[in-house]
Amino acid sequence: MTDRTGDASALPVTPEECSALKKPPMFELDQETQLIQDTVRSFVADMVVPRAALIDEKDEFPFDVYRGMGELGLLAMTLPARYGGAEASTMAWAVVQEELARGSAAVADAHMVNKLMCDILLSNANEEDQAHFLPRMGRGEIICAIAQTESDTGSDVAAVKTTAKPVSGGFLITGAKQFITFAGICDLAIVVATTDRSLGRDGIGLFLVDAESEGFRRGAKSSIMGVRGLATGELVFEDCFVPESRMLAPPGTGLKRALISLNSGRIGMAAQSIGIAQAAFDLALTFAKERQAFGGPIANFQAIQFMLADMSMKIEAGRLMTRRAAWTRDAGKAFIREASEAKLFASELVAKVVDDALQIHGAHGYSREAVIERLYRDSRVYRIWEGTSQIQRIVIARQLLAA
């Protein structure tokens, strides 16, 4: 019979390492991240929730809330200290994304897009432009958009038709972009354009365009179903001159660098999905306890109980997947598959959770005055933005087959 009483020295890891393994980062937030979570939760309760319905109804960008995030340090949280940032982890950022989305999907997405634009500038802009723009973006003083999607090119980023014609000292940008977040209010735009359509992805570059530039024009505002209030619309470029120093990525590298930001964005999309799902679940649970039918609260019925149990289970699973993706990125490991899996799973679970939550509300949930009705509309886009569900499955499969 095998002796199972050996000393600790026979273990493949030390007792200290065993103790550390009992609390992996994705299972329990560290004290600093918990403090950030509590701070954001209070901000959402005080500043976001009271405004959320009006942001959606009027479809107007909440500048006061956005600047409030800047004052709180949320817009600069992942920036380097030299630019006024806190150098926060992806885990902390994902937690903030979830908490903001519980109050307003629009506010959460504004926070996410700002972070992704900061990331692109931090990785690609020259030091002068970084020092000039990043601190101001971190304070919420200026806003940067990503001009990527076109009327004929969504998931197929390599098929962009917007051109960047080389001229003396820079480039002339010509083309139109559609469904651009911040289009109506941006001070800057990172434009995905091609220097030669015949080269496909090898002709694509990234260009930083000032909204005051001649040839830059804001087109029609997009009337979208959900996540309203982001000044979504068209951007038009008509021989818009961009100096060579504002070329963020030369032809052949632009697509790759644009897609790198999508990977982080997918973690944000997953976190937002979890936040919306949690908000829907909280509403459904409260309603089920309070709604009286057949002599008691509907929460007494097993059918409702099973729905609530499934909703809670899905949310927790999605949250863990999202935090695992964030932790993997923070650990400096490849996280493409983890980000796509989290985004796919969370975006599909939020659809089911919100639908079940509305079902529990019955006719009350079908009213335009109900919060759950807004969550229902907001939740739909998460299977589209930052790569559709079909694209995520392609990415995951390719990662698995390449391993």
Instruction: List, by residue number, the catalytic residues.
Output: 386
Residues 6+ apart with CB under 8 A from 64: 47
SS3 content of the chain, % helix, strand, coil (to 5): 60, 15, 25
Instruction: Give first-to-last CA distance, the chain, whole Å.
Output: 40
- What's the distance, CA 72 to chain centroid? 19
DSSP letters for 344-357: HHHHHHHHHHHHHH
Six-digit token string for 94 = 């994902």
Instruction: Quickly tell me which residue has 């550390």 as its tokens.
Output: 20
Rounded-to-integer distance, Cα 255 and Cα 12, Å: 44
Q: Which helix (H) or strand (E) holds 14?
A: none
Q: Residue 71: count other Cβ atoms within 10 Å of its Cβ.
A: 11
Task: Name the amino acid, one letter, at 390.
Answer: Q
Q: Of all helices (H) and strands (E), which one includes residue 38?
A: helix 31-43
Chain length of the chain: 403
Residue 114 identity (one-letter amino acid): N
Q: How far apart are CA 44 and CA 351, in angstroms?
A: 23
Burial of 185 (C-beta count, 10 Å sphere; 0-12/13-18/19+)? middle
Q: CB–CB of 55/104 below 8 Å?
A: yes
Cα four-point dihedral sign 208, 210, 214, 218? positive
DSSP state letters, 347-398: HHHHHHHHHHHHHHHGGGGGSTTSHHHHHHHHHGGGGTTTS-HHHHHHHHHH
Q: Quote the crossing angle between the two packed helices 90-103 and 302-330, to the nearest 10°.
A: 150
Compute how many other C-beta atoms are within 10 angstroms of the C-beta atom of residue 333: 9
